[in-house]
Structures are given as structure tokens and as C-alpha cells.
Amino acid sequence: MERKERRTASGRRYSLDPSYHCVITGDAKYHNYCRWDSIGYHCKRGRKVSNGNSLGIALVGNFETDPKVRNNNADGKYGPKTPTEGQLDMAAQVIALWMLLYDIGLHNILPHRDVLKGHTVCPGSNFPHDLLKRKVSTIYEQWAKSPAAQQELAEFKKKEFIYV
């Protein structure tokens, strides 16, 4: 993966890439922020997962509803308490595509909080991770069996720069 960075006049390094590889807004729109072949800065280094070996996807919203957690959304003051169905569907499509492109197993699809236990509650206690994984699995299986999808994937892999 390519790492884009610059140095300040004093020699301090800083990243040019935004945190997530893609962000999905509440209206289910996909926004590419970081090239898929670049390192994003979306997670704290865990035992097995780091920014250098992972892709980051964010669904806009605050899905933490535990009132004991600072900045929680238990009362809905920060908007919807769960992602929209459209956000989940779009996220599932993007993740299934990444799985097919980069040979990622479903067991490697983790919520942010599982990368380094205790570091964050993201994406929140009310985030339906199991539902998302079921949606990803369904789409992955459909695309993996579809000759048309496989042909499109083969063409996509030939592209020099991986954007959608």
C-alpha cells in the first residue's frame, strides 16, 4: 500500500490521506476518501490489525446508546440511534467488493472496537454488526457465483487506480 506523507519544516511527518477509505452518509451515498491501495488512519494498532493491513469504512452517525458512555446518543440528540437500512446495504456492497478484490475472509470483518479492546466503543453498542455481516455474506455469495459479476470484477482489477 502506498503511504502519502509530507514533512513539516522541522522534519515532523504528517499524513496526506484521510482516515477512512470510504464514508457512507445517512442517505446511503458512498464517498471515497482514501485510495484503496493507500494506508488510511482509521484504527489504533491492535494485535493483528493495523492501518497498514486493513481498510476502513465509516457510516455517519452516533450509534452508542449506553447512557454511561461519554457523548452517547441514548436520547437521539445526535440523530438516528442506528444506521439507516440504506447505509447498511451500501456498506455491505462495499465490503463484499473488498472481500472479492483482496481475498478477505468474512471472519476478518471487525467493528472498530474489536481492533484494540478498550480503546473505543465505535461504532457503538447499537450498531447491528451481525446484521451487516449477514448482508455482506449474502452479497458476497451472490457475486462470487455470478459470471457477470466475476467478469466486471476481472475488468475492475485491471484498472491502475482502484476507485469507485
Q: What is this structure's pTM?
A: 0.81
Q: Angle CA(3)–CA(26)–CA(157) in degrees, nearest 5?
A: 40
Give the model's pLDDT for residue 50.
60
Residue range 25-37: mean pLDDT, rounded: 83
pLDDT digits (tens, 9 = 90+) for 100-132: 988 889 998 888 777 677 777 888 999 999 999
Give the model's pLDDT for residue 83.
97
Handedness of CA 12, 20, 32, 102 (dihedral sign): positive
Residue 54 has pLDDT above 90, yes or no: no
Contacts of the segment 133-141: beta carbons below 8 A, 24+ positions apart:
133/106, 133/109, 135/88, 135/89, 135/91, 135/92, 136/91, 136/92, 136/95, 136/96, 136/99, 136/106, 136/109, 137/106, 138/92, 139/92, 139/93, 139/96, 140/96, 140/99, 140/100, 140/106
Which domains, ranges and CATH numbers included, belong to the chain? 5-157 (3.40.80.10)
pLDDT digits (tens, 9 = 90+) for 143-160: 999 999 999 999 988 877
pLDDT digits (tens, 9 = 90+) for 68-103: 999 999 999 999 999 999 999 999 999 999 899 888
Residue range 58-67: mean pLDDT, rounded: 93
Residue 17 has pLDDT above 60, yes or no: no
DSSP SS3 for 112: helix
> What does the alpha-carbon distance between residue 21 and residue 33 come to, in Å, rounded to a whole number?
5
